[in-house]
A and B are shown apart, each in its own frame.
Chain A
Amino acid sequence: MTLDKAVLDSVEAAQPEAAANPIAVRFQQVARHFGTVRAVDAVDIEIRAGEFFAMLGPSGSGKTTCLRLIAGFEQPDRGHIEIFGEAVEGVPAYRRNVNTVFQDYALFPHMTVLDNVAYALRVRGMARGERHAKARKALALVRLEGYDDRRPVQLSGGQRQRVALARALVGEPKVLLLDEPLGALDLKLREQMQVELKELQRRLGITFVFVTHDQGEALSMSDRLAVFNDGRIVQVGTPEEVYDRPRNRFVAGFVGASNVLEPAVAEALCGRRGLYSLRPERIALVGPGEAAGAEAVAVEGRIDSLQFHGATRRLTVAVPGATLVVMLTAALARPPRVGEVVRLAWPRAALQAMDES
């Protein structure tokens, strides 16, 4: 299910020149409390215009509250928020040219699909003919032409999501916010929508801010992402940066899976001082006669458990002082078995130093 190329081309052609990457959204030491709970605690963010920015974290980490602060449903208790350079403290949501795709889509049940999509234009006072035409264009963008007269209750989850998307885009917002929009979709649909959303954002050039607890989604879709934990941002960077160089054990464990080598273990196995992260897929099984390779660490251990995942195998191996998780992708001539003693090796460069906190 591809996007309508002709429609997108016409949209792309009409885009005004983007200024030299101004900051779309800026948070300066923003805090928001609910009673004694610090939902957002001294957060700084800079989201650049035109980028696909993901806010990733477990539930309760503050990412959704930050989204709501951008949208205008919450006001910060402390700190300063700017959208394209304009301060937005005390500015209600309807005055911000920022639109949201809600987690439950929030389609108006008493309106048709077309009226739903045209809503933003209607409240601005646009004439009916004009706003319906624009709404139809938006529906075409999300591949729902002809659904004009349906009601939300008649649509499937995926269709509702696309209506919500069209509705949020029709008013040409400066920033589009997405609150876990793919959560309710089944796997195949979700993967499809990830690709579509990315394409859409690239073509439209609008800044997308995307909240999710699914690290796979964040890694695959975003240009940059921020990892949240406990109301604070723990790390910001491109997906590669965050994945390859996790800043602390939380990021190492939350973004992808990782082995965390405590200082004692790191010292014993690799002769390194400090806390280290080691991705399971960087570890290889070395045969009995093989050399480990230059600049590599080798260690022996016994396989405690083994899970076959089709394309990969996940092993836990007990080595002196620790249990390592190993991810094997190679098709193996002789697959390992539980209880076997094996030799593991990984390049020293794969070890990532992390902050102790």
Chain B
Amino acid sequence: MRSKSGASTTLKLAAAGGLLFLHLPLLLIFLYAFTTEEKSYQFPPPGLTLEWFAVAWGRADIWAALGLSLRVAAISTLIAMLLGTLAAGAVARSRFFGREAVSLLIILPIALPGIITGISLRAAFNLAEIPFSFWTIVLGHATFCVVVVYNNAVARLRRASGSLIEASMDLGADGFQTFRLVILPNLATALLAGGMLAFALSFDEVIVTTFTAGQQSTLPIWMLTELVRPRQRPVTNVVAVFVIAATFLPILAAYYLTREGQHAGGEGK
């Protein structure tokens, strides 16, 4: 819906205003990470200092939470990539009975509010008397991360010319060779992007995790505890700054990976 003339000034202002609204709060966090005031959220900050970064570095509980978050995110992403790719392979190219239902099922964990997923899992763990552990967290994370990988993979598979797989088989490559030589190379960047998004999603997740983690703390859970009962506010801000940076990079990378993709398989048109 491209328009040839320029936009009205009000529209431009409204759009810019909206975008600023989205981003200013994050900038504020940056500011507050340097404040000298420890007990409140006073604005403007009375002074600026770097000491909180050092303090955060020294806190063992932060490191433990970070480690857990990273491990959970890594394993969940791997599982999600496997399951998401398989599902995408089935759905993207063939028509079968119940195809829409499958799509719905895959989306459901992320479509329904997190609290439903969280409490369902917790109720199920209770019923089956499974103790909370690293794996209960992973179970929850992998389940809603599947859809992220799945969406990316399906979008890429749909865009690729369908005859590529047929062409490969026509020339003598069996299913496995075709997957290795034709499908995977074309899918690789989409999978990578999906994986990165899944990682970011898992790393940041708190709603479901509070239900499935038992006594353990991932980084977001640590932050939530601090928010409700703050110990050293600026330290929380420092961690927040770190989390912003840590999720910013994978998302940017994922975006660039899926952007270049206008070149399809040599259409004759």
Residues of A whose CB lies within 8 Å of any CB of B are 71-73, 92-94, 98-100, 102-110, 119-120, 122-124, 151-153, 155, 157, 160-161, 163-164, 167-168, 171, 183-185
Contact = CB atoms under 8 A, between A and B. Distances in A.
B167 A108 contact: yes
B264 interface: yes
Contacts of A160: 266, 268
Contact of B163 (A104, A123, A171, A183): A104
A123 B171 contact: yes
A108 to B, nearest CB: 6
A220 to B, nearest CB: 20
Contacts of B171: 94, 99, 119-120, 123, 167-168, 171
Interface of B: 161, 163-164, 166-174, 177, 181-182, 185-186, 263-269
Contacts of A104: 161, 163, 265-269
A106 B186 CA distance: 13
B173 A105 contact: no
B267 A105 contact: yes
Given A99-B170, A110-B185, A160-B268, 15 more contacts: A71-B170, A72-B169, A94-B170, A94-B174, A105-B267, A105-B268, A106-B163, A108-B164, A108-B167, A108-B168, A122-B181, A123-B168, A153-B263, A155-B266, A157-B268
A31 to B, nearest CB: 21
A160 B163 CA distance: 15
11 contacts: A94-B169, A94-B171, A104-B266, A104-B268, A105-B265, A119-B181, A152-B265, A153-B266, A157-B269, A163-B266, A164-B266
A44 to B, nearest CB: 25
Given A99-B171, A105-B268, A110 B186 contact: yes
Contacts of B269: 104, 157, 184
B142 to A, nearest CB: 29
Contacts of B182: 108
B265 A107 contact: yes
B169 A93 contact: yes
Given A100-B170, A109-B186, A123 B181 contact: yes
Given A71-B170, A108-B167, A161 B265 contact: no
Given A104-B161, A108-B182, A123 B172 contact: yes
Given A123-B181, A152-B265, A153-B263, A106 B172 contact: no
B262 to A, nearest CB: 9
Contacts of A122: 181
Most A CB contacts (10 A, CB to CB) among B161, B168, B170, B263 go to: B170
A73 B93 CA distance: 14
A67 to B, nearest CB: 11
Nearest to B165: A106
Contact of B166 (A98, A105, A106, A107): A106
A155 B168 CA distance: 20
B174 A106 contact: no
B266 A92 contact: no
Contacts of A184: 267-269
A288 to B, nearest CB: 53
Contact of B266 (A100, A109, A123): A109
Contacts of B177: 123
A55 B267 CA distance: 23
Contacts of A98: 170
Q: Which 8 A-B pairs have the closest CB atoms?
A: A107-B266, A184-B268, A152-B266, A106-B167, A106-B163, A120-B171, A123-B173, A153-B263
A157 B268 CA distance: 5
Contacts of B265: 104-109, 152
A94 B268 contact: no
Nearest to B188: A110
B199 to A, nearest CB: 25
A103 B181 contact: no
A164 B161 CA distance: 15
A122 B161 CA distance: 22
A106 B171 CA distance: 12
A204 to B, nearest CB: 17
A153 B167 CA distance: 17
Given A102-B167, A104-B163, A106-B161, A120 B268 contact: no
B266 A105 contact: yes
Most A CB contacts (10 A, CB to CB) among B166, B173, B264, B267 go to: B267
A22 B153 CA distance: 47
Nearest to B174: A94
Given A93-B166, A100-B167, A119-B168, A106 B266 contact: yes
